[in-house]
Structures are given as C-alpha cells and as structure tokens.
Amino acid sequence: MPELPEVETVRAGLAPAMEGVRIAQAAVNRPDLRWPFPRDMARRLTGARVERLRRRSKYILADLDTGETLLIHLGMSGRMLVSGDPLGQFVHDHPAAEKHDHVVLDMENGARITFNDPRRFGAMDLMQTATAESHKLLAPLGPEPLGNAFDESHLVSALAGRNTPIKSALLDQKIVAGLGNIYVCEALFRGGIHPARRTRRISRARTASLVPIIRDVLRAAIEAGGSSLRDFRQADGNLGYFQHSFDVYGREGAPCRTPGCSDTVRRIVQSGRSSFYCPSCQR
C-alpha cells in the first residue's frame, strides 16, 4: 500500500492539472470500490472547480468550490493517472479506456484524471470541506510527520508509559500519521533501534532522535518520487526510485550498508508484517 511519500508524490503530480481547474465531466463506472461511492458522485463533481489539492496522512483531498471535498485513497493497487495535460508535463494523448478505470475526470484544461484500481481496495468519498477533519477516516489521525506538531516532545509524550515494540508504535496512525512499514524500517535502521525493542526500554533522548530521522527518510523518499514496489506509479505513469536507496527493507540476507559492519540484514515478522534490520547496528 502506498505510504506518505508515494501519496505526496501523486498529489504533487496531479496539482498542475487539477488545481484551479474546473471538472468539465465526471464519470463513475461502477457503484463501489472498497465501499460504495457517494450518492450522485458524478453529478456532484461535474462543474466543480478544484480549489486546492492537499494530503492528510495517506489520503489525497481535493477541496472544491462547491463546499465539498473529494477524499481519495489509493488502496493496494489504485493509481491516479494524468493524460492530455496542456502544460505538456504528461503524456499527450488520452489512452484507451481500461477495464479497471473506475472514475474518470475530464478537466476543462484538456487534462484527464483516471482512477484505475484493479484490486478495488481504494476508495473515494465526498464530505463537507468545513467539517472534513471530523470525517471518520481523518478524525483519529495523529500529527503529520513533516508538520510542526510532530516534534520531539510529542513523540516522547506519546510513547511514555507504553510497553509495545517501537515498530508497532510508529505504525500507530494515532501517534503519527502516514508512516508505513517501509519507512519505519528505514528510520529505525538509521536510528540504530531494533524494531522489536519495547518503547519503555528506549531512552527519551533516543526516542526524540527519531523525529529528525523520520523527517529525513520521508523527504528523501519524496525527492526520489517514492518507492515503486509492485503497483505504484506516479501521476505521469513513471516509477518512483527510492527503493534503490533502501538500507534494510526487502534486503534480507544482503550485507549491511553501515561502513565496517560485517553482518547481514535479517527479517522478523511483527503483527503479520515483515521487519528488516541489522542485528549488529540495531539494539
């Protein structure tokens, strides 16, 4: 499932074709994905102007001039693809329709935004912009890891008194929004912390040190266009490249990249997810 860097990469790719542009025609080609589409979604989107395209955690939010916000979740295999952009930043022609093109937005500037999702684990919803933060998917979320609210004092306070593996704690969306398996593995490697170490056994200083590390990992991934594992593509159809910079994720049995370390990357399973780490560098 795309994590924060992948979703932010898609948002940035959609923005030139969508922000400030009216939706000339919206087409909804099936009644549901992960859950049913909102009532009359095509009619409510047609004619609406996209005022702003933003991201909250792993969700893309399109604020419309109708007072509604379109929420988009890519799920496991969802892709938002742009074609026919008049700015020339994407492919020039609209491709032929595909079986899994579930929602198509034809913009007034000639761009076409296609939401393609073969596995249908993605989702779209419409909500009132004024109360968007109270939506059931957004209300429980913690602070954004690249925002000011996510700082050393927040993380130390959020983990105080807990006795859970640090990997599980950082995946808790109520503590910090948008982190997933890949980037938590990478951040813990850089922080030298074993993914199974209990939070109560990590000093306040080491906990606090994870904040800038998490920020650095996410910023590097966004700059690389995210990580392309299986289905992820950017809005222009290109792959992301951060997977070539992984220190531990997916590298079981490979040499540790820390200079002077002769150990190899190991894998353990935590709550059904693979955790990758170096047993010598992470304690």
Task: Decide if pLDDT at 39 tops 80.
Answer: yes
Cα–Cα nearest to 144, from 207, 63, 65, 211 = 211
Rounded-to-integer distance, Cα 176 and Cα 267, Å: 24
Burial class (CB in 10 A: 0-12, 13-18, 19+), 47: middle
Report the pLDDT value the prediction gives residue 89, as an integer from 0 to 100. 58
> What residues are paired with 68 via a beta bridge?
128
CA distance to 53, 96, 180, per residue, from 214 (Å): 24, 40, 11
> Residue 226: pLDDT band by 50, 70, 90 thresholds?
low
> Residue 190: pLDDT band by 50, 70, 90 thresholds?
very high
Cα–Cα nearest to 23, from 123, 133, 114, 92 = 114
Report the pLDDT value the prediction gives residue 216, as an integer from 0 to 100. 95
Is 7 in a helix, a strand, or coil? helix
Residues of the chain with CATH 3.20.190.10: 4-134
Is 16 annotated in the active site? no
Residue among 120, 162, 273, 279 flagged as catalytic? 273
Asked if residue 201 lies in contact with residue 166, where contact means CB atoms within 8 angstroms, the answer is no
Report the pLDDT value the prediction gives residue 85, as an integer from 0 to 100. 60
Rounded-to-integer distance, Cα 168 and Cα 123, Å: 25
Task: Decide if pLDDT at 91 tops 80.
Answer: no
Residue 91 is classified by DSSP as: B
Asked if residue 268 lies in contact with residue 34, where contact means CB atoms within 8 angstroms, the answer is no
Kindly give, in sequence order, each residue whose CB lies less than 8 Å from that of residue 203, ignoring residues fewer than 6 positions away. Answer: none
- Fold assignment, 152-277: Helicase, Ruva Protein; domain 3 (1.10.8)
Cα–Cα nearest to 187, from 231, 139, 229, 247 = 247
Report the pLDDT value the prediction gives residue 77, as an integer from 0 to 100. 86
Say which amino acid occupies 222: I
> What residues are paired with 61 via a beta bridge?
54, 71
Rounded-to-integer distance, Cα 53 and Cα 45, Å: 14
Is 273 annotated in the active site? yes
Residue among 11, 58, 79, 233 flagged as catalytic? 58
Is 215 in a helix, a strand, or coil? helix
Least confident residue range of 57-71, 78-92, 166-180, 235-249: 235-249
Is 58 annotated in the active site? yes
> Residue 60: pLDDT band by 50, 70, 90 thresholds?
very high
Residue among 3, 8, 68, 186 flagged as catalytic? 3
Residues of the chain with CATH 1.10.8.50: 152-277
Cα–Cα nearest to 164, from 197, 131, 206, 122 = 197
Sign of CA dihedral 160, 166, 168, 170: positive
Is 68 in a helix, a strand, or coil? strand
Q: What are phi and psi of 73, to 5 degrees?
A: -125, 125
Q: Considering the domain delimited by 4-134, tell me its CATH architecture.
A: Alpha-Beta Barrel (3.20)
The pairing of strands 112-116 and 101-107 is antiparallel
Is 3 annotated in the active site? yes
Report the pLDDT value the prediction gives residue 83, as an integer from 0 to 100. 86
Least confident residue range of 68-72, 97-101, 156-160, 255-259: 97-101
Report the pLDDT value the prediction gives residue 198, as an integer from 0 to 100. 98
